[in-house]
Structure formats: C-alpha cells, structure tokens
Amino acid sequence: MTPIARPAVPLAGGVVDDQAQRVGARIRTLRRGHGLTLIQVAERTGLSHSFLSQLERGHARPSMVSLERIARALGTSQVELLAAGDPGQSEVDDQRPRVLRSTEGARGPFSQGEARLLVRGARAFEPLEWVGANTDPGDYYVHAEDEFLYVVEGDVLLDLAEEGTARLGPGDSAYYRGGSPHRWRSADGSQFRMVVVKQKPQLPPPPTRRRRDRSHP
C-alpha cells in the first residue's frame, strides 16, 4: 500500500523539493513558449500571480485541480506536468513495451492525496494511481477527455454533480464522458487507492511566429 504523502517541508531558499522545482521549471518553459506572462496565466486559471510565481520557482506545490487549470491554460495535461517531476522521464516514441515497477513512476503529493503516473514515455492515454484519505472532495475536475476510474482499496464517494453520487468499493469502477464535473473523497475517512485512466488530450499545435518582411521598414 502506498503511504499518503505528508506535506513537504521547504528546503533552503524556499524550494519545496527537487520535484517541485522541476515541475515549476516545466511550467515556466511552457508559459514562455506560448509567449504568456504570469499575469495572463493567472487570468486564464483564476490563480493568483504570486502563487504562480512561487510554483515556477519550486516554492509551492499545486493541488491537482490547480495543476489541471494550469495545464489547460498552457495547452498540455496535468499528467504531463506531473511527469516533468521525474528526472528519468523519456518521451521517445517507439513500439517497445515499457515496464514500470511499483517503486517507479513520476509521483507527487497534492492537497487531496498522492498521484503516481503509471507509464513512461509516449502514450495514448494517461493512467494514474491515486491514494488519499480526504473527506473533503475539494473542487470539481472538468476536462474535455473521457475518464475511467477503478477502486483498488477502500471506499470512495464519487460525486458527478447533477448526475448524482455513487459509493464505490474495491472492484467497482466508473466511466464518464469529457466535460462531466467530477470529484471524489473517502466515504468513511479511511485510506483508499484507485486507478484513474484519462484520454490523452488533443493538444493544439504550438503557435508559429510570423517572420518579419525585411524588405519593409
């Protein structure tokens, strides 16, 4: 059983840990690649300018909901940002099978639990292992991709907004279409573990910069 991560203690200089620093650096690289300022990303995500600045410097760790908002604003996915925290991550697109051991995979402790990416490299879908014991479901997740959820251990209360709630135990699963608000919590306050599989986002192509016509001033 994967232990629930404890809150990270900032290191010297205010950095939470090496993983937070790598994720923050990836966010900064993507933001600059899109030609966006921190203020523009703040407007797109509803997060504060100061919080985003802390994230980029590795001085804070986002919740999965915040990470989802940032990912959508930057044309990527929360799992891609999570994977940036793995120093051994490789995105080589080949046909060879890739095996991931239980001790491997990019992972990150977040406010509602711990997530671990269950695959490395290029992939057609995003599988996560999720461990938590939260009784507060937090904000709803909403994304364009379909998602599948399978409970391995514990009891989970799945909240699908207007579609209602469902209590899921070990062996139970759920599938919901893209655009469906969803969130979850422990049904009885005990730890749960589940596998969440999401379609890989169809990302827009990176913006192209217009070449200046040197024949005109």
Please spell the DSSP secondary structure of 147-182, one letter per residue. EEEEEEES-EEEE-GGG-EEEE-TT-EEEE-TT--B
Distance CA 90, CA 94 (A): 11
In tens, the pLDDT along 28-79 reads 988 998 889 999 999 999 999 999 999 999 999 888 788 888 988 887 777 7
pLDDT band at 217 (very low <50, low <70, confident <90, very high): very low
Higher-confidence position of 121 and 204: 121
Distance CA 129, CA 2 (A): 10
pLDDT at 210 over 90: no
DSSP β-bridge partners for residue 195? 129, 150
In tens, the pLDDT along 103-141 reads 887 776 655 678 888 887 767 788 989 999 999 988 788
Q: What angle do CA 89, 123, 98 make, to 5 degrees?
A: 65
By the 8 A CB rule, do 165 and 158 touch? yes
Q: Buried b / exposed e across 91-116, counting CB within 10 Å, b at 16+?
A: eeeeeeeeeeeeeebbbbbbebbbbb
Distance CA 31, CA 53 (A): 12
- Count of CB atoms situated within 10 Å of the CB of 161: 12
